[in-house]
Amino acid sequence: MTNADWPLWEVFVRSRRGLAHTHAGSLHAPDAEMALRNARDLYTRRSEGVSIWVVPSAAVTASSPDEKDPFFEPAADKPYRHPTFYEIPEGVKHL
């Protein structure tokens, strides 16, 4: 297997200050272990992260931006999901 044949991996890093992993970028590697090591060297050089996920790009399924309206339309007809639907009771702080 040559470098050109290596699969593409998506890298997600959880920073010290954050609770969620965020997408940091992509890289090519022959296997998951090498992808994890390369991601550590490439995306956490300054100790920015406490956890790294690597996922084969081929395993990621995403919606298309071109289909945004029909894909997310069912959520628009549910006004109870929006905070404007609720009244905040008196005395409730930090909401």
38 lies in which domain range?
3-63
User: Which of the two residues, 7 and 49, has the higher pLDDT score?
Assistant: 7
Q: How many CA atoms lie within 13 A of 4 on its CB side?
A: 0
Distance separating alpha carbons of residues 15 and 52, to the nearest angstrom: 9
Residue 85 belongs to some domain of the structure: no
Mean pLDDT calculated for residue range 23-31: 96
Residue 84 belongs to some domain of the structure: no
Look up residue 36 and give its two tokens.
């994890």
Contacts of 48 (CB under 8 A, 6+ apart): 13, 15, 16
Residue 58 belongs to some domain of the structure: yes
Distance separating alpha carbons of residues 28 and 3, to the nearest angstrom: 8
Report the percentage of the chain scoring pLDDT > 70. Answer: 82
pLDDT digits (tens, 9 = 90+) for 49-89: 889 999 999 999 988 888 877 777 766 667 666 667 667 78
- 11: domain CATH number? 3.10.20.520
* Total count of domains within the chain: 1
Could you tell me the pLDDT band of residue 38, with boundaries at 50, 70 and 90? very high
Provide the CA 61 distance to its chain's centre, in angstroms: 12
